[in-house]
Amino acid sequence: MSSRRSRSRQSGGSSEISDAQITDLISKLQQLIPELRARRSDKVSAAKVLQETCNYIKNLHREVDDLSDRLSELLATTDSNSAQAAIIRSLLM
Amino acid sequence: MDSLQPNTITDSETSPDSNHKKRRKITHPQNPLNLMPWRSNADQQIYSLRLANALRRIPRPAAQIRDTADRVLAATAKGRTRWSRAILTRRKKLRIKKVKRAASGLRRAAIGRRKRLPAVQKKARVLGRLVPGCRKVSFPNLLEEATDYISALEMQVRAMAALAELLSGGAPAAHVLT
């Protein structure tokens, strides 16, 4: 990454953040999101990227919650020691 | 074989310094976020083991499991990112304080940044609420934190799903965790 001083413009406020850097960060974010990965960045607006990011994070949160529910049920019925042993065994294989 | 992982990148537990987020505008010493730091096998296995360990000692309610999972995730991040530090220090009391601070965030928005359209700004604020500890960070920092947070969440989902498979399947499904 090039030095930020050479790229940043002196904007009115105290921030020295350049548009190019923002665009770069947004495109990196875009690459992570499955919905937007196929599209090219010039067709996707920043607002859309942010929107999809929020949706994606909410989805991930929901998945984690669902998995937590499932794990809580499973842990209730499984002996914790044997679960631990099973995990270690599978990691060592 | 790596059905759950799109890439297998090499271990990236290596450069804590370059990822240390300070209160500067942008910190890009070399490589802001080591490419996909959460995608490696090692990360996921470490997380799975720690999670399994932690879950052994706590009671069952799902909310606690979610909480534990988050905290172990944040611990695995080794304090490189803001969201992980926020998770590790969060308590119920702090959450009330955060609500108050969000109100002052609105005032900042009224001043307005030159290059941020209102739509982008609104969505950025929503995003800031979703990522722990990022309500008042600058826009570029928010984007960086969000990218890391998303990768971490994906890993968390993969690890917890694998754990669930393991516990429910009974038979050691070796390919699931490796």
Tell me whether residue A62 is in a domain: yes
Q: Which of B151, B2, B117 has its CA nearest to residue A47?
A: B117
- Residue A78 in any domain: the answer is yes
Report pLDDT digits (tens) over A48-87.
888 888 999 999 999 989 988 888 887 777 666 666 676 6
Residue A77, domain member (yes or no): yes
Q: Does A88 reside within a domain?
A: yes
- Residue B19: its pLDDT value, please? 43
Quickly count: other Cβ atoms within 10 Å of residue B21's Cβ.
19
**Position A2 in a domain:** no
Structurally, chain A folds into a number of domains equal to 1
Mean pLDDT, chain A, as a whole number? 74
In a domain, A86, yes or no: yes
Instruction: State whether B164 and A67 contact (CB < 8 Å).
Output: yes
pLDDT band at B59; cut points 50, 70, 90: low
**Residue A21 domain-assigned (yes or no):** no
Structural domain boundaries enclosing A59: 47-92
A21 at B interface, C-beta within 8 A: yes
What is the rounded distance in angstroms from the CA atom of residue A78 to the CA atom of residue B55? 12
How many other C-beta atoms lie within 10 A of the C-beta of residue A89?
12
User: Is A92 exposed, middle or buried (CB count within 10 Å of its CB: 0-12, 13-18, 19+)?
Assistant: exposed
For A55, nearest residue in chain B (alpha carbons): B127
Q: Do A75 and B138 touch (CB under 8 A)?
A: no
Question: Which residue in the set A46, A69, A86 is minimally distant from B172, CB to CB?
Answer: A86
B60 touches chain A (CB under 8 A): yes
pLDDT in tens, B60-92: 677 778 888 888 888 887 778 888 888 888 765
pLDDT at A24: 85
Judge whether A18 lies within some domain: no
Min Cα separation B39/chain A (Å): 12
- CB-based contact (8 Å) between A56 and chain B? yes
